[in-house]
Structure formats: C-alpha cells, structure tokens
Amino acid sequence: MKKIAFVQKKIVFMLLLVISTAATAQKFNPIYTGVPSLTITPDARAGGMGDAGVATSADVNSQYWNPSKYVFMDSPGGASFSYTPWMKKIVNDINLFYLSGFYKFDDLQAVSASLRYFSLGSVDLTDDLNTNLGSVNPNEFAVDVAYSRLLSEKFSAGIALRYISSNLTGGMVEGYYTGRSIAADISATYKTPIRASNSDDGSLSFGLNISNIGSKISYDKGNNSIFIPTNMRLGTSFTYPLDEYNTITANLDLNKLLVPAKPYFENYDGGATDAQYMADLDEYNNKSPITGIFDSFSDSEELEEIACAFGLEYCYDKQFFVRGGYFYENEMKGNRKFFTAGVGFKLNMIQLDASYVIATAQTNPLDQTLRFSLSFDMNGLKDLAQ
C-alpha cells in the first residue's frame, strides 16, 4: 500500500503551521481547520504592523483585510504583487505568492480581485518498502473577486466570493484527491475625520471583515470534511498628523476563528476511547459550517481564542514609511507571539514595502519571516504621463 512519506521538514511544517510552540502546554487545544494557508498575512505593509489591517487606510492589498476599504482610495485603480518565503528559518522551498488589484468605477463603487498561491515545495513519496515513487509539489490556491460600495459619506460595505483549492498529494495517493471549497466574505468600514490640534485633519476608522464563510473541504470525496478557516476580524485605526509632512497611525485588530473547538480527548475520563468523547467527536464532524460559526461562541474558550494585533505606522510626506507591531495569541490556541518591523518607499506610481518578524515565543517557526510587496498606482501613472 502506498503512503505519503513526507520528509522531516514537511512534517515539521504541517505541525508548526497550526501549533507554533506550545507542545508543553497541559491543555493545549488549538482550532484546527483545513487550508490554514488562508490565514497567512500576504502583504508586507500589514506584516510590518503586527498583522493588523482591517481598519488601516485603504491600500491595494485591502482585498485580504477588508475589501470595503477600496471605495476610500484616492486612486482609481492599482495592482500589487507580494512574496513571502514562509518559515525560511526551517525550510527553503515553501512560499506564498499574492497578486491583488482593484478598479473604482466612480466615487461610490469599486471592484477588486486577488490570487493567492501557496507552494509547499517538493515532497518525496515512497511506498512501505521505502522505494522512491517520485516527488510531488503540493499547493493551495484561492482566487476571489469583490464588490464594494460607499453607502454614506463615512460608511462602506463589501462582499467577496472565493474559490479555494488544496492539493496535498498531487494525485499520487490512492483515495485522496484535491480538496475544493466555495466561500464568501462580508466586510464594512466606517471612517470619519478627526480635528487635530494643529488644524490638520486626522481620521478614525473602524473595520469589520468576516471571511471564508463557506463549505467544508474534503480530500476523500465527502467521506470526511474539515472546516475552512472562517474568521472574524474587528479593528480600529487612528491617524494623527504631527505637521504638514509627518503623520503617525495606531492600529488595533481583534481576530477570532469562527470554527468550533474540536473535542479534546484528554478532557474526558476515558481518554480517546470514552463513549462521550466519541459521541461529541461525531457531533463535531457532522456540524454544518453555519452551525459551526454559532457554536464557536459557546465552547467556553472564547476569550482564549481571540488574537490581538497592534501596529504603528509613521509616514513622511506620503513617501517614506516606518512600521512596527506586535501580535499575541494565547499559548493554548497556537502561541504565536511576535514583534514585527517594516519599511516602505513610494515614488510616483511604484511603492515597495518590506517587513520582518521577530518571534518572542521560544522556537517559533515564524521567526525571521520576510515579506515583500510591490504596488502600482494608476494615479502615479497619470502623473508621469502629464
């Protein structure tokens, strides 16, 4: 019988992608989902601010964080390409590529789209006798489109539709196939000007994005299904102009997976063979995605499941950017804790951003993660043409 013989680095990746360091925690019980790559921050700007982005000022990469922000863009359109060599400290061939873009029809409405491709590199396959069967290149990708509209002077809403594909075996393992899912996002933004002491206007924003509301994903044609990472992100952002050229922005995101916690066998007297555990596990496996969303608020671990992201951005003359941030996740739910730093430079139609992760949790695989984003602005192109 054939089997997947993931080389050691891939086993480490699949484990640490969800559970970074809390192997010693006594009641470690993270939320497990399929297609966890959908939760990876794709762009360098938010990546430099502790992974905060739901209420920040609109940019080309708002598709991931909150598509409803696009109607607040000054530019009529733009595109961006981002690259992340994921977990570079552990492996050297796992990468995330992200392409996004938007176009404003007028001052009230915009359309946007993105393509996310996550490559797990090369994986060697063997049979039970350790005979080499060749190699495969597992990957996950998602493509989505969104529409956003300004409903009042200060309030906007958006909706996105997404197709998700997860191919972990390359079609070379009998009984396992490419997993597919359809999902939607619902987002909203409220932005209001704030009068600053130096007579220049600042702004206060609130953002909400409920993403990946959709069908479960299955790798065996529906015999077993897994929740996709349905997620709720709520945040606020305050921009304060220090003077004509200098601006500082503070951002805060609260993030919660809308997926119920899987029954943990160590919480049952009989362990993995306990009858009540087996009944609860069966109920969990048969929950619908919508039921799972509501049940995610009633599993007695709601506060532990909220992750916090805080970020600061300093801007000089709308051209130079310096960023920093911190991300916190409870040690029982993944233990991702890290500082981030980032820089950005904008010249005419082009903006280049970079960010870096500095982990604070011991042996965190996210440590030293780099991100790069290159954006193009139609306003800048128009200025060059004049």
> Using the 8-state DSSP alphabet, how is residue 283 labeled?
H
Residue-range definition of the domain harbouring residue 240: 2-261+296-385
* Residues 6 or more apart whose Cβ sits within 8 Å of residue 386: none
Supply 284's token pair: 């969990």
Distances in whole angstroms, Cα of residue 49 to Cα of each of 140, 253, 303, 313, 324? 26, 10, 23, 7, 5
- In a domain, residue 61? The reply is yes
- In a domain, residue 371? The reply is yes
Q: In terms of Cα–Cα distance, which of 376, 345, 347 is closest to 78?
A: 376
| pLDDT tens track, the chain, 386 positions | 344 444 334 434 444 444 433 333 446 677 888 898 999 999 999 999 999 999 999 999 999 999 999 999 999 999 999 999 987 777 788 899 999 999 999 999 999 999 999 998 877 776 666 777 677 788 999 999 999 999 999 999 999 999 999 988 776 667 778 899 999 999 999 999 987 666 567 899 999 999 999 999 998 887 889 999 999 999 999 999 988 889 999 999 999 999 988 887 777 777 677 777 888 888 888 899 999 999 888 876 777 889 999 999 999 998 999 999 999 998 877 788 999 999 999 988 899 999 999 988 765 677 888 999 999 988 765 555 55
- In a domain, residue 197? The reply is yes
CB 342 within 8 A of CB 84: no
- In a domain, residue 157? The reply is yes
H helices then E strands: how many in the chain? 6, 19
Length of the chain (residues): 386
- In a domain, residue 268? The reply is no
Segment holding 250, helix H or strand E = strand 246-257
- In a domain, residue 273? The reply is no
The total of structural domains in the chain comes to 1
Q: What is the CATH number of the domain that holds 304?
A: 2.40.160.40
- In a domain, residue 279? The reply is no
Each residue's pLDDT tens digit, 337-362? 999 999 999 988 899 999 999 988 76
Each residue's pLDDT tens digit, 117-166? 999 887 777 666 677 767 778 899 999 999 999 999 999 999 999 999 99
- In a domain, residue 284? The reply is no
